[in-house]
Amino acid sequence: VELSAPACHKTLGDLEMSLPNSTKANPDRVYGLDQQFLRHDAKSQPWKPLDGGPFEQQPIALSGATNGLASARVIRCQGTGTRSSESTGLQQAAPPLTRKLEGHITFMFVLEGKACAALGDEGKRVELHEGNSVLCPSGSPYTIEAGSFKLLQVVLPDDLNTFVTS
């Protein structure tokens, strides 16, 4: 995945090139604005709980590769996340994942499945399918409902730790 704003060129894959390639031209692999190539091997990275609900996260080491410009993680949710209420024993839907970032832009891309989200102060509902994306501007709240999906989340500038949970 390559993100740039504004998008100033097409990016095409070279399926015949093996990576990593020769380091003779750029041994430190540092590019403009101290950016580095990053390969994330999702199969070897652990999943961690996210907010105690049905959501899990897999951090991606993007912050170091972008010199603090961006951070990223994959968020997944399996099923609706229903659980029994301790007081009544009845099934309840898991709480959604709700965030609002001040001073940050959030980009989300659905890798697998389908995600339902409510965006902005008005809570406009959108259904995001595999291959769809959404950009949430600074200060704009968003909510992701429990379901069956996996999505890539990129935050600019880097600061996944400043999430405000509602």
Q: For the segment 29-39, what is each residue's pLDDT rounded down to a tens digit?
A: 666 666 677 77
Q: Band of the pLDDT at 51, cuts 50, 70, 90?
A: confident
Q: Is residue 10 part of a domain?
A: no
- 61: domain CATH number is 2.60.120.10
Peptide bond into 6 cis (omega under 30): yes
Q: Is residue 138 part of a domain?
A: yes
Rounded average pLDDT over 157-165: 56
Q: Is residue 134 part of a domain?
A: yes
H or E segment to which residue 65 belongs: helix 62-65
SS3 (DSSP) at 58: strand
Domain that holds residue 99: 40-165
Better pLDDT: 19 or 130: 130
Rounded average pLDDT over 72-91: 68
pLDDT at 92: 56
Q: What percent of the chain has pLDDT over 90?
A: 19
Q: Is residue 70 part of a domain?
A: yes
Residues 6 or more apart in contact with residue 151 via CB below 8 angstroms? 74, 75, 76, 108, 109, 110, 111, 115, 128, 144
Q: Is the pLDDT of residue 166 over 50?
A: no
Domain total in the chain: 1
